[in-house]
Amino acid sequence: MTIATIAQKLNMPIKVLEKESIKSFLNRELHLAEIELFNLSVKYGAKSIKDFQQKIKKGEVHETRESVEDFFNFDHQEAKKDKLKKILQNI
C-alpha cells in the first residue's frame, strides 16, 4: 500500500501523513535510545558518559570487554539521543 493510498483512506493530505509518520518514527527511536541509556545507567550507576568515564578512572567500574562495549554503546546512545532531539525540534 502506498502512502498516497493510506492518506486517501485516512482522508488526510499526504504531506501531513508524511510529517506525522516521520515524527512518530523519530520519537520511537528517541524512546529506544532513552531506554538503552536508562538500562546502562542502572547497570553502572552512571548518569552520563562522563560519569561512566569517571567511574572507570576511579576503578569503580572495571575495564572488561563488556564494560568497554557498554561504554561505547553509552556514548553512541547519548549522541543518537541528542541528534534525534535536535531533528525533532526542527520539524
pLDDT (tens digit, 9 = 90+) per residue, 6-33?
999 999 999 999 999 999 999 999 999 9
**Residue 58's Cα: distance from chain center in Å?**
28
Name the burial class of residue 10, with classes exposed (0-12), middle (13-18) and buried (19+) by CB atoms within 10 angstroms of its CB: exposed
User: What's the pLDDT score for residue 39?
Assistant: 98
Residue 74 domain boundaries: 3-89
d(CA 53, CA 82): 19
Q: By three-state DSSP, how is residue 90 classified? A: coil
CA distances from 63 to 52, 53, 90 (A): 11, 10, 39
pTM score: 0.87
Q: How many domains does the chain have?
A: 1
